[in-house]
Amino acid sequence: MQNVCEMRQVVKRYKEVTALDHFNFEIHEGEIVGLLGPNGSGKSTAINCLLGLLAFDEGGVEVFGRPVSPDDMDMKQRIGFVPQELSFFAELSVADNIRYFAGLYESDNARRDVMVSEAVEFVGLEKYVKFTAKKLSGGLKRRLNIACGIAHHPEFVMFDEPTVAVDAQSRNFILEGIKEMNRRGSTVLYTTHYLEEAQELCDRIVIMDEGKNMASGTLEELIDLVDPTEAVHIAFSEPGDRVFNMIREIPGVVDIQEENNHTVILLTPPGHRLSALLEELKNHHISYTSLHSELPTLNDVFLKLTGKALRD
Ligand SMILES: Nc1ncnc2c1ncn2[C@@H]1O[C@H](COP(=O)(O)OP(=O)(O)O)[C@@H](O)[C@H]1O
Ligand SMILES: [Mg+2]
């Protein structure tokens, strides 16, 4: 599959801060790739290098198979960028803002007007086209920011934390919109520090910390990196050695831990052993008052790779 963009061993320093530390990264055509990392891990710096907005110290960056250059108009036309900071004109209307950004790439008035209405519809701002941008709520401003970045139908779109501080409704609108753009053929780079978003949206996730690519893969591949177990929390009616000794014999049980008022049974591989466990409990007439099971998450992976939790 063709790489839409590629970063090889990129080093970017801001004086004494190393924001990218031999960073490797690529996106294949048609993917939604999530760049997941805490604040300050280098996500925006990586995007700015891909856009040719920022000079880097070492390594190589290519987009559409060639080095990036700020005045490569053909390349710019094919790229969309939704920056982390709101980037539109506060005093202009919604429609005029989108028209301005679409006009950077499309000089034909009729075609540009079609782009504007499509972008408005895409982000669900139909009721607000005449509103002055500064009068919109936070979530609607975010949506306008997106419309400005994608109106020109780019093949490759980069979203830099587009859902920070937005309400749930706008957030869903944004994520669904990105999925739809991808279905229509756009390749997507999405940066976030929200685990759930990366999990929900992305075909492939790159875990970033301190300017480095710590791991990349599908959610399943990443979870496989960490000796994954499923934690089954059970409050037995009569806990005791008879119960524990029996459970130890069940295939897939790797550990039993006693917590305050319940027992945690660790199973592997996750997602495949719970029904056998329940069957055995039934066969042995072992009763319980509550039970729930927790599958491994991206947070477990993040913790293992970086030594810290990435909390939302
Ligand atoms: N213009 C700048 N000048 C100095 N340091 C910067 C600048 N931009 C970013 N940094 C530093 O580089 C690191 C990575 O920042 P950034 O790429 O913004 O991370 P993220 O987008 O993941 O939050 C941070 O330590 C940040 O403080
Ligand atoms: Mg950032």
Domain housing 124: 3-224
Distance from Cα 19 to the centre of ligand 1, integer Å = 6
In this structure, the answer to whether residues 118 and 259 fall within a common structural domain is: no
Residue 228 has a pLDDT of: 84
| Alpha-carbon separation of residue 230 from 66, 85, 214, 248, 293 (angstroms) | 45, 39, 23, 15, 7
In this structure, the answer to whether residues 207 and 130 fall within a common structural domain is: yes
Distance from Cα 251 to the centre of ligand 1, integer Å = 48
CA pair distance 15, 131, nearest whole angstrom:
42
Mark which of 224, 251, 272 sits at the end of a domain.
Answer: 224
User: Is 236 within the bounds of a domain?
Assistant: yes
Residue 226 has a pLDDT of: 84
Mark which of 206, 224, 242 sits at the end of a domain.
Answer: 224
> Using CA positions, which residue lies closest to atom 26 of ligand 1?
40
How many domains does the chain fold into?
A: 2
| 62 three-state secondary structure | strand
User: Is 195 within the bounds of a domain?
Assistant: yes
In this structure, the answer to whether residues 33 and 85 fall within a common structural domain is: yes
> Using CA positions, which residue lies closest to atom 12 of ligand 1?
19
What predicted TM-score, i.e. pTM, was given to this entire model? 0.88
Percent share of the chain, pLDDT over 70: 99
In this structure, the answer to whether residues 143 and 264 fall within a common structural domain is: no
pLDDT per residue as tens digits for the range 185-219:
999 999 999 999 999 999 999 999 999 999 999 99
Phi, psi (rounded to 5 degrees) for 265: -110, 125
Ligand 1 atom showing the smallest separation from residue 84 Cα: 21
- Cβ < 6 Å from ligand 1: which residues? 14, 17, 19, 37, 39-45
| 310 three-state secondary structure | coil
In this structure, the answer to whether residues 210 and 277 fall within a common structural domain is: no
In this structure, the answer to whether residues 128 and 235 fall within a common structural domain is: no
Distance from Cα 20 to the centre of ligand 1, integer Å = 9
Kindly give the pairing relationship between strand 288-294 and strand 32-36: unpaired
Ligand 1 atom showing the smallest separation from residue 193 Cα: 22
Ligand 1 atom showing the smallest separation from residue 208 Cα: 22
In this structure, the answer to whether residues 200 and 265 fall within a common structural domain is: no
> Using CA positions, which residue lies closest to atom 2 of ligand 1?
14
Do the beta carbons of residue 65 and residue 3 sit within 8 Å?
Answer: yes
User: Is 306 within the bounds of a domain?
Assistant: no
Q: What angle (nearest 5°) sits at the alpha carbon of residue 15, between those of residues 11 and 17? A: 60
In this structure, the answer to whether residues 42 and 152 fall within a common structural domain is: yes
Positive or negative torsion for Cα 40, 64, 221, 177: positive
Mean pLDDT by 10 residues, the chain (312 residues): 92 96 97 96 97 94 91 90 95 97 92 95 94 94 95 96 89 92 96 92 96 95 88 93 91 91 92 91 94 90 86 58
Best residue among 45, 47, 84 to mutate for probing ligand 1's pocket (most ligand atoms within 8 Å of CB) is 45
pLDDT per residue as tens digits for the range 244-267:
999 999 999 999 999 988 999 999
User: Is 243 within the bounds of a domain?
Assistant: yes
In this structure, the answer to whether residues 20 and 161 fall within a common structural domain is: yes
